[in-house]
Structure 1
Amino acid sequence: MSTRIPPLVGADLWQAVVRAAAGRCQCRGACGKSHAKDGGRCGREHGGYQQHHGGGTVRLLAAPADPASLLLPPHRIAALPKQALAAWCPACHDAGLAAARKTARAAAPAEPDTLFDL
């Protein structure tokens, strides 16, 4: 794993999450990909180079491990304990968040088509 550059806020928590993940994205398919080529877990490492999604250096995020919890408001996410967090690469995080939103929309009750019930 290459040199870790922590974020400006919450550096201790971020470092604990990334250390527990061995500097590697912990996505195991929540993003919609099987990651079969990497043994079922995303192969992106913090500080490594990503060939897709615009290229550049991978900067892992500490975010909820449960994809449904990605929909929590930021102040609730910030209050989560480190055991409830996982290291995510930006591509897996964004795809996991989109999948969680899609699941939440599908589970939401249908709204009536009219303004007033007759």
Structure 2
Amino acid sequence: MSAPVRLAPLGDGGLWQAVMAAASGRCQCRGACGKPHTKSGGRCDREHGTHRTHAGGQVRLIAAPAEATDLLLPDHQAAALPRNRLAAWCPTCHHGAHTAARKAAAAATPPAEPAALF
């Protein structure tokens, strides 16, 4: 089997390719998405361009913040992170980790005081 073609996103200045090279083209999730990934040694087994999705397409890994708290940054701040703060994510794990980070942040925020009626 030949090596997967690593097509970079439009406008990539090499950052995406550097992140993918550091990850060996494999999703770097180790459970932040809520799945233990036990069948693959604790790390997601999805590789860029090789695993098929349920819809029949190929998985396209993305470079996104590695830390859960950074997943909640606005897009312009996340895009400015250095390579060492980014990780390769499959879309499924990225969505799960982002959802978990959002729920954790909401749980840590104290409820707002109700507005006075009078």
Secondary structure at 1:75 match in 2: helix
CA distance in 1, matches of 2:92, 2:108: 24
Distance 1:30 1:45 in 2: 17
Number of residue equivalences: 116
* TM-score, scaled to structure 1: 0.92
Relative to structure 1, is the Cα distance of residues 55 and 101 closer, same or farther in structure 2, using a 3 angstrom cutoff? farther
Report the equivalent of 1:26.
28
Contiguous gaps of at least 5 residues in structure 1: none
Mapped partners of 2:53, 2:111: distance in 1:
41
| Aligned residue in 1 for 2:79 | 78
Equivalent residue, structure 2, for 1:116:
116
Deviations 1:77-101 (A, max 9, x none): 1110000000000000000000000
TM-score, normalised by the number of residues in structure 2: 0.92
AA at the equivalent of 1:75: H
Q: Which runs of 4+ in 1 moved over 6 A?
A: none
CA–CA distance in structure 1, aligned partners of residues 37 and 70 of structure 2: 22
Q: CA deviation at 1:117?
A: 8.0
Determine the C-alpha separation between the residues in 2 that align with 1:101 and 1:38.
Answer: 26
The 8 Å contact of residues 4 and 47 in structure 1, kept in 2 or not, is answered as: yes
What SS does the aligned partner of 1:7 have?
A: coil
Contact kept in structure 1, 2:53 and 2:59, CA below 8 Å: no
Please give the root-mean-square deviation of Cα atoms over the aligned residues, in Å.
1.5
Shift of 1:11: 4.2
Distance in 1 separating the partners of 2:101 and 2:113: 24
Note the C-alpha offset of 1:40. Answer: 0.5
Deviation of 1:109 (Å)? 1.2
Q: Which residue of 2 is the match for residue 101 of structure 1?
A: 102
Pick aligned residue for 1:48 from 47, 50, 56: 50
Most deviating of 15-24 and 42-51: 42-51
Asked whether 1:9 is paired with 2:5, we answer no
- The unaligned stretches of length 5 or more in structure 2 are none
**Cα separation, 2, equivalents of 1:11 and 1:25:** 21
Deviates more, 1:56-65 or 1:5-14: 5-14
